[in-house]
Amino acid sequence: MKLYNCATAPNPRRVRFFLAEKGITVDMEEVDIIAGDNLKPGYLKINAAGLVPVLQLDDGTNLCEAPAICRYLESQRPLPNLMGANPLETASVEAWDRFAELNGMQAAGEVFRNSFEPLKTRGLPGSTLVDAIPALVERGKTRLAAFYELLERRLGITQYLAADRFTFADITACCVVDVANFLKLPPPAANRNTRRWHDAVSARPAAKA
Amino acid sequence: MKLYNCATAPNPRRVRFFLAEKGITVDMEEVDIIAGDNLKPGYLKINAAGLVPVLQLDDGTNLCEAPAICRYLESQRPLPNLMGANPLETASVEAWDRFAELNGMQAAGEVFRNSFEPLKTRGLPGSTLVDAIPALVERGKTRLAAFYELLERRLGITQYLAADRFTFADITACCVVDVANFLKLPPPAANRNTRRWHDAVSARPAAKA
């Protein structure tokens, strides 16, 4: 298997983190998003939407979208379980993973894509070319603050995001916080549940993948 | 089971469509988003992010997020299979469902939320209050056009979106097209694969749910 990766992007990191938790090694091919490698005809044949990551199977099948890739990998290597051990837990993992992605990742992405000069004509991930909209930087910060508030509240109820154990939802939320840290928009220092959780997730060896 | 529904919103429709395909009936409670029912304290206890749909199980457990709800329902009522009959097909359904949601549904939502006067202080779904940004109306139209182009191309390769049979990904994409039709932003008339597919999906009795 080969992962079309981008070392600096958060969505490929979700898959690398997941692979490392499973103890699966794959070949990697770097796709430099900033340089526009993901918009070149060769890559658009692999993913027409111009997004990373893609997991290419040995028969040439290209699997797109980080959660779909990870669910497939879990079917091939069920342990340690990261996507849910029963239907209710699976629903919780998917719902909280989506919470982290749609509220957190998209918020951080909105800040980054609309303020980073080299991407000023690429305000969205992938092949749809739209100009940056400066008003989205502030909107992204507002969304990120709301995400942090809900995250803190949730982590006061459960030890990890989807359950009282580590799952894929924690991988996604950790990738959000680390991107936000890079953007100098960390969780509020008073959010002690978030800090406890982020320290625990970040201490996992797979977090370095 | 009870579905917290909003009759006019596309994400609850994904679940109603899915339930009808499965032949499952549930109680419904209407949440009027335009009136702000989803932002009231009672509803925020059910879903802190203020989003519909929510499926409440008989023991009081609240399942959030349409794809997570549908995956749970499939585990309880496996046939007809809509989420994928094997790991590779499951990955394809999830990837193409996400394609429809992140490229299509979010594009149509961007047009609607930033142009509909009664929501001018609620530019995003749910409880994060942000003002409408007029520039996002045009961006949403650009995104929707790009979605239509990729949809048409894909439907020239496969009969349905994720496979050569009807799946959950078609439910989501049909809900996108119908919202876009409501916004008077239909797929281009020249997109014959899309028309063939949309006619077939819309003819299913469950499409009326």
The pLDDT tens digits of the residues spanning B114-140 come to: 999 999 999 999 999 999 999 999 999
| Nearest-10 Cα torsion for B96, B99, B100, B102 | 150
Q: Do B68 and A94 touch (CB under 8 A)?
A: yes
Supply the pLDDT for residue A8.
Answer: 95
Taking alpha carbons only, the member of B192, B197, B104 closest to residue B145 is: B104
Supply the pLDDT for residue A209.
Answer: 96
Give chain A's contact residues with B (Cβ, < 8 Å).
48-49, 61, 63-65, 67-69, 71-72, 75-76, 87-88, 90-92, 94-95, 98-99, 103, 123-124, 127-128, 130, 133, 135-136, 139, 142-143, 146, 150, 153-154
Q: Do B90 and A103 touch (CB under 8 A)?
A: no
E strands, A62-201, in order: 62-64
Supply the pLDDT for residue B72.
Answer: 98
Select from B98, B124, B133 the Cβ nearest to the Cβ of A133.
Answer: B133
Q: Which residues pair with A55 in a beta bridge?
A: A3, A63
Amino acid letter, residue A95? A
Q: Do B142 and A150 touch (CB under 8 A)?
A: no
Supply the pLDDT for residue A184.
Answer: 98
pTM metric for this prediction:
0.98
Average pLDDT of the segment spanning B48-59: 97
Q: Do B71 and A94 touch (CB under 8 A)?
A: yes
In terms of phi and psi (left: phi > 0; alpha: psi -120 to 50; beta: otherwise), the region of B79 is: beta
Q: Do A75 and B87 touch (CB under 8 A)?
A: yes
Average pLDDT of the segment spanning B44-51: 97
Q: Do A49 and B90 touch (CB under 8 A)?
A: no
Please write the tens of the pLDDT for every residue from A128-157: 999 999 999 999 999 999 999 999 999 999
Please write the tens of the pLDDT for every residue from A160-174: 999 999 999 999 999
Band (A84; pLDDT cuts 50, 70, 90): very high
Please write the tens of the pLDDT for every residue from B171-200: 999 999 999 999 999 999 999 999 999 999
Band (B42; pLDDT cuts 50, 70, 90): very high
How many Å is the Cα radius of gyration of chain A?
Answer: 17
Chain B residues near residue A85 by CB distance under 8 angstroms: none
Please write the tens of the pLDDT for every residue from A171-204: 999 999 999 999 999 999 999 999 999 999 999 9
Band (A112; pLDDT cuts 50, 70, 90): very high
Its sign, for the CA torsion A6, A12, A15, A16, is: positive
Q: Is the ipTM of this complex over 0.90?
A: yes
> What do you get for the CA distance between the two ends of chain B, in Å?
17
Q: What are phi and psi of B156, to 5 degrees?
A: -85, -10
Average pLDDT of the segment spanning B18-23: 98
Residues of chain A with pLDDT > 90, as a percent, come to: 100
Supply the pLDDT for residue B3.
Answer: 98
Q: How many contacts does A have with B, using Cβ atoms within 8 A?
A: 102
Supply the pLDDT for residue A73.
Answer: 98
Q: Do A63 and B91 touch (CB under 8 A)?
A: yes
Strands B62-64 and B54-56, sheet pairing = antiparallel
- Min Cα distance B98 → chain A (Å) is 8
Q: Do B48 and A135 touch (CB under 8 A)?
A: no
Please write the tens of the pLDDT for every residue from B147-164: 999 999 999 999 999 999
DSSP SS3 for B76: helix
Select from B64, B136, B150 the Cβ nearest to the Cβ of A95.
Answer: B64
Band (B91; pLDDT cuts 50, 70, 90): very high
Strands B2-5 and B27-30, sheet pairing = parallel
Supply the pLDDT for residue B56.
Answer: 98
